[in-house]
Amino acid sequence: MVSQCLQKLRTRSANYIDLAPNGFNVYTSENNGVTYLEDDLADSTYFRGIIELSNKIEQINAVGGLQSELQNELQS
């Protein structure tokens, strides 16, 4: 399941998380590791995978959304 999540979150060269509406472009996404935990409780056993993901971003001109509205307000 962790592998499927990572495929949705990042690829090697493209299709990163779209932050353009917020005024940012993701140009690098790096998997910094996965921690697996097992919680054995009285009623059930829970398995968790915690993904640590690092994204490098750059600010761009916003294409709508709150960031664009704020930029327009500051310019006027």
Query: What is residue 50's predicted lDDT score, i.e. its pLDDT?
Result: 93
Structural domain harbouring 25: 2-75
User: CA end-to-end span of the chain, whole Å?
Assistant: 48
The pLDDT tens digits of the residues spanning 34-52 come to 999 999 999 999 999 999 9
Query: What is residue 36's predicted lDDT score, i.e. its pLDDT?
Result: 95
Q: Which long-range contacts (CB under 8 A, 24 or more apart) does 18-21 make?
A: 19/57, 20/60, 20/62, 20/63, 21/62, 21/63, 21/64, 21/65, 21/67, 21/68
The number of folded domains in the chain is 1
Average pLDDT over the chain, rounded to whole?
A: 82
